[in-house]
Amino acid sequence: MINPQDTPGVALLFPGQGSQAVGMGRALYDTYPAARAVFEEAGQALGFSLSEIIFRGPEETLRLTEHTQPAILTVSVAAWRVLEPELAARKLPVRFAAGHSLGEFSAYVAAGALTFADAVRTVRARGQFMQTAVPAGEGAMAAILGLNLAEIETACQSVTAQLLSAAGNDNQIVTIANLNSPDQTVISGSREAVEQAAEACKQRGAKRAVLLPVSAPFHCPLMMPAQLRLAAWLGQIPLSAPRFPVICNVDALPLTQPEAIRGALIRQVTGAVRWVECMGVLQQNDVTHLIEVGPGKVLTGLNRQIDRSLSTSNVEDPASLGKTLERLTAPA
């Protein structure tokens, strides 16, 4: 295992749900045998052609959580399989990895803590567990922009207390789900609670409060049924010590032990994604290069909001791979 303090190097960042698009990863599949092998392994592990859904859609099918999660994992791991030998050839060690929600599974695959076959089956099951934990239409999530965390937390607590008192229904809650950047926090819970909290945040000065097009209220206590089912599932999955530390979402701490990893992945289902703090770990350890590995540039955009010194490039196709490698090898 690489000691994170030994040498400068790179950190890998893996995207989560919301980065999907029909056709993602197709150029990797067509260009690199190593990437093609990942798509083929996904189909074998799942028992159906995931690549057909990824490349051809339709979008409504790809958007189903049970398809979205293994699809993003597959494209991310395919991109990593192409990037990995390039970093090794340039003697650029990976010092850390992190993934946003679902992306944490991709990070553990890249670090060798979890096999890809086990991971792709697990995230499909995770998606199914999440989708069925709350009846369709009863949960919601909203992005709050331009309001500090303390104000958002106060709004959520106030709305939850009012609804619990009025309805006596333990499911009428809203909590913090994602701490994405100083300017963007996502809340999650019952639809009524989220809508009221979003309005309360606007009254407190939020620039915007936007309901998100999601199928379930992720990262909140309403996901406990899914967390319990995932705990039972992960209890049967072997994990290994990672080759480099992975910063977990729920604690914003770098993990190196299999049982700590298992616990973090379980708790993540109901726990908040503490992305700002995760990036703080990289800053504290003087990581010089951050690479978003997988579809889209969501994490690259968040890092600009967190701190523009968090210079992040991405790898999702041959063109972006070439640009990232040029950047990594350019004279300082």
Residue 125 covered by a domain: yes
Domain count, the chain: 2
pLDDT score for 326? 93
Is it the case that residue 5 has pLDDT exceeding 80? no
Residue 4 covered by a domain: no
Is it the case that residue 111 has pLDDT exceeding 90? yes
Is it the case that residue 283 has pLDDT exceeding 70? yes
The residue from 19, 101, 188, 190 that is catalytic is 101
- Write down the mean pLDDT value for the chain: 94
Instruction: State if pTM tops 0.85.
Output: yes
Is it the case that residue 269 has pLDDT exceeding 80? yes
CATH assignment at residue 199: 3.30.70.250
My answer on whether 86 and 149 are in the same domain is no
Is it the case that residue 310 has pLDDT exceeding 90? no
- Read off the pLDDT band of 6 (50, 70, 90): very low
The C-alpha angle 114, 119, 124, rounded to 5 degrees, equals 165
Residue that finishes a domain, picked among 177, 194, 214: 214
Residue 5 covered by a domain: no
Residue 72 covered by a domain: yes
pLDDT score for 134? 94
Structural domain harbouring 192:
139-214
Q: What would the two tokens of residue 7 be?
A: 């040498």
The residue from 51, 219, 313, 320 that is catalytic is 219
- Phi-psi map region of 294: left, alpha, beta (phi>0 left; psi -120 to 50 alpha): left
My answer on whether 112 and 168 are in the same domain is no
Residues of the chain above pLDDT 90, percent: 88
Residue that finishes a domain, picked among 164, 195, 214: 214
My answer on whether 240 and 195 are in the same domain is no
My answer on whether 181 and 104 are in the same domain is no
Sheet holding 208-211, edge to edge: 174-181, 184-190, 139-145, 208-211
Q: Clarify whether 101 is annotated catalytic.
A: yes
pLDDT digits (tens, 9 = 90+) for 161-193: 999 888 667 889 999 999 999 999 999 999 999
Residue with tokens 């990437």: 35
How many whole angstroms separate alpha carbon 324 and alpha carbon 330?
Answer: 10
| Residue 144: strand pairing partners | 185, 209
58 prior amide bond cis, ω within 30: yes
pLDDT digits (tens, 9 = 90+) for 197-222: 999 999 999 999 999 988 899 999 99
My answer on whether 118 and 176 are in the same domain is no
